[in-house]
Amino acid sequence: MDAPQRDMRFRLRLYFGDDLMFGPGKADLLQGIADLGSISAAGRRMEMSYKRAWMLVEAMNAAFAHPLVDSVRGGPSGGGARLTEAGIAVLAHYRALEAIVLQAGAAQITGIEAMLKQDMSSGR
Amino acid sequence: MDAPQRDMRFRLRLYFGDDLMFGPGKADLLQGIADLGSISAAGRRMEMSYKRAWMLVEAMNAAFAHPLVDSVRGGPSGGGARLTEAGIAVLAHYRALEAIVLQAGAAQITGIEAMLKQDMSSGR
């Protein structure tokens, strides 16, 4: 009997009262800004509009005591953005939480997976 | 300095290849069936249409090797539904996984929470 070999993924969304939802989209956007040094480039990588990427950054900056993203619109260097210390910390907490789901939750996830029909997905 | 006292909630969705998303909606529906003995009553409690509740049950029953819900449409006793052993097990795995997020992930969640602006939500 083969062990299940599925493409398991998960999405974890955190809601803090009515003020902030923080989940994989915002985490990936922060990651993109860290990687690419630009809000619009980070949005593009996620196939997200420039407007939406800015809106998400503004929502995060408004919800946290210190902004997560430091940005310059335009300017001599053509603008740019980077994560602040707070942004780096929030992203690190979220990524650590994702890792905990996979590690501490492995037995539960495997428990569900093992009960799935075995012939589904196998050809994909 | 007060500790953050927010209404933190989270939603965890698991994706097994293209075949199944299992998350809080399906878990609550299974819970409702266990509590109420009826798919439609479980759906109503969640403000979900009868059609959607049945559709979700059928999707779960199709994705797992053994059905999660055993149901009788109509019939002398007026129909009814209950979780099978498989349904009880899947729901238990998912609830355990949720508990793991809160317990094993507490430091990460608190880490994010502590960085939120302190004056938001306080009046809600």
Asked if A16 lies within 8 A of B22 by C-beta distance, the reply is: no
ipTM exceeds 0.85 = yes
Sign, CA dihedral A55-A60-A66-A68, equals negative
Tell me the pLDDT band of A113, cut-offs 50, 70 and 90: very high
Query: What confidence category does residue A39 fall into, taking pLDDT thresholds of 50, 70 and 90?
Result: very high
Give per-residue pLDDT as tens, B30-49: 999 999 999 999 999 999 99
Return the sign of the alpha-carbon dihedral for residues A56, A100, A10, B59.
Answer: negative
Chain A residues whose CB is inside 8 A of the B20 CB are 116
* Strand (E) or helix (H) holding A58: helix A50-63
Measure the CA–CA gap between B21 and B16, rounded to whole angstroms.
6
Of A8, A86, A113, the CB nearest to B115: A86
Confidence of residue B4 (pLDDT cuts 50, 70, 90): very low
A97 vs B9, B105, B121: nearest CB: B105
Q: Cβ(B63)–Cβ(B46) under 8 Å? A: no
